[in-house]
Structure 1
Amino acid sequence: MADDRTHVQDFFAVRAAGWDSRFPDDGPAYTAAVRALRLRPGDRVLDAGCGTGRALPALREAVGPGGTVTGADLTQQMLEAARRAGREASGALLLADAARIPLRSGAVDAVFAAGLVSHLPDPARGLAELARVVRPGGRLALFHPVGRAALAARHGRSLADDDLRARPRLTPLLADTGWRLDTYTDEDDRFLALAVRTA
């Protein structure tokens, strides 16, 4: 597992400085996904695998000045890019592994996770850890600014039947790790699975 984490860190470390410029038009998709999470003023939200913090301003706007926004990422260089972009003003930045989040159980009302699930070395363990830090009834958004087919095509691959984010695979995985899938959207211009933390 340590080797898998190192692979993820190495992959993102060399891409951090130019990450935002590679995807300059994703802002509205992030804002719409945050809106779908239905946060309320005063809520506590974790952006797990926050990368350069592109979701942090929308999350801050949703929870207001009385809410709490924390962005956690495994790669120091991504967090540094978030700081350079001024996104630390929207939320605290934390160097942390999604499989071992240094928050108490039930500490947050919701988790936003953009592109995270496919980079988890052990998806079941990671999703169970996200469930641990969310209060019962809290929400999870698994998001990507393009759908599964468009993402596969971007990488020159065809869409695989065993894709972790395919609804037949994702639904039981979420159920086994403390979540109930609420809504599932997989379109060319976005992937968004919303789940509720079970008791």
Structure 2
Amino acid sequence: MADDHAHVQDFFSVRAAGWDSRFPDDGPAYAAAVDTLGLRPGDAVLDAGCGTGRALPHLRDAVGPGGKVLGADLTPAMLDAAVRAGRAASGDLLVADAARLPVRGGALDAVFAAGLISHLTHPGEGLRELARVVRPGGRLALFHPIGRAALAARHGRSISDADLRAEPHLGPLLAHAGWVLDSYTDEDDRFLVLAVRAH
């Protein structure tokens, strides 16, 4: 596990400073994805694998000043970039593994996770941990600002049904982790899966 964490930290540490400049037009896509969570003023929400915190201002807008926003990431350099971008004002930042969160069970109304699932060493365990911290009936959004085919093309690969994020794989994975799949969207300009915490 430590080696896996080191690999993830190494990957993102060297990219942290320039991360936002690589994706300057993603803001509206993040805002639209946050809207799908149906957050209300006063809600408590976690951005799991928050990176440079691009979702944090949108999450803060959704829950208002009386809500709770947490941003957790394994890579300190990404959180440092979030601070430099002024996003720490939108939520509390934690250096934490999304698969072992320092959050009590059922404390949250929702979890937002952009690009996280591909970086979880054990996706099933990670999704179970996200379910642990969300109240029954709470929501999960797994998001990426581009779809699977566009992302594969960006990396010079073709899309595969063996992809973890393909619906036939992800649906059962979510179910085993305590989530009920609500909707699955995989378009060129958005990958968005919404799930509800089972009772």
Report the TM-score range of the alignment, normalised by the length of the smaller protein: over 0.9
TM superposition shift of 1:160: 1.3
Alignment of 1:137-176 (within 5 A): 137-176=137-176
Partner of 1:25: 25
**Amino acid paired to 1:94:** L
* Whole-angstrom CA distance in 2 between matches of 1:105 and 1:171: 23
Normalised to the residue count of structure 2, the TM-score between the two structures is: 0.99
1:39 aligns with 2:43: no
* Whole-angstrom CA distance in 2 between matches of 1:156 and 1:120: 22
TM superposition shift of 1:161: 1.4
* Whole-angstrom CA distance in 2 between matches of 1:168 and 1:3: 29
Which ranges in structure 1 are unaligned for 5 or more consecutive residues? none
Aligned-residue RMSD, C-alpha:
0.4
Partner of 1:96: 96
Partner of 2:134: 134
* Whole-angstrom CA distance in 1 between matches of 2:139 and 2:188: 24
**Amino acid paired to 2:38:** R
**Amino acid paired to 2:161:** D
TM superposition shift of 1:3: 1.1
SS of 1:186 mapped into structure 2:
strand
Partner of 2:54: 54
SS of 1:163 mapped into structure 2:
coil
In the TM superposition, structure 1's runs of 4+ consecutive aligned residues that sit over 2 Å from their partners are none
Residues matched between the structures, number: 199
Partner of 2:120: 120
Which ranges in structure 2 are unaligned for 5 or more consecutive residues? none
Percentage of identical aligned residues: 78
**Amino acid paired to 1:179:** W
TM superposition shift of 1:4: 1.2
* Whole-angstrom CA distance in 2 between matches of 1:135 and 1:20: 32
1:84 aligns with 2:52: no
Partner of 1:189: 189
* Whole-angstrom CA distance in 2 between matches of 1:99 and 1:70: 15
* Whole-angstrom CA distance in 1 between matches of 2:183 and 2:40: 19
Could you give the per-residue CA deviations for residues 34-92 of structure 1, whole angstroms, max 9, x where no partner exists? 00111001000000000000000000000000100000000000000000000000000
SS of 2:156 mapped into structure 1:
coil
